[in-house]
Amino acid sequence: MTVARAVKLAAAASLCGTAALAEIDILSVTFSCENDTQVPVSYFNAADGAGAAAMLLQDQLIAMKQVQSGSGIRYESVDGAGTYTLRSKGWEATISHQAEGSTAPELVLLRDCTSR
């Protein structure tokens, strides 16, 4: 199974409880970040407005749900150790992580990501 297919299936599975798969718009992009790091991301947008995404980061598949954002879009991981956050506006993105139970500011893992 290809990485892109695995990412699509994982994110689609996270939406199954909220929308039929036939009603989901899927967009797959690869972000190019600092240090030539490539991060494939698939976005899943349901007709009812629910959003999810899945990204492959350091050989780890991370399923995320869309959460409220003041500007742009924001996705947060749905389980695992700590919270991964993908923030994007236009074609640019930042990926960060907050350790579980930590009160320290989240750690920016990758910045200057672009999908153009």
Question: One digit per residue, pLDDT tens: the chain, 116 residues?
Answer: 444 444 444 544 444 444 445 588 899 999 999 989 999 999 998 888 889 999 999 899 999 999 988 888 999 998 877 899 999 998 899 999 998 888 888 999 999 999 87
CA atoms within 13 A of residue 89's CA, in its CB half-sphere? 6
Domains, the chain, ordered by start: 3-114 (2.40.128.200)
- Using a cut of 0.85, tell me whether the model's pTM lies above it: no
First to last CA, the chain: 26
pLDDT one-digit tens code per residue, 20-51: 455 888 999 999 999 899 999 999 988 888 89
Helix, strand, coil percentages in the chain from 3-state DSSP, rounded to 5:
15, 50, 30
What is the number of H-type helices and E-type strands within the chain? 1, 8
Residue 80 Ramachandran class (φ > 0 left, ψ -120 to 50 alpha, else beta): left
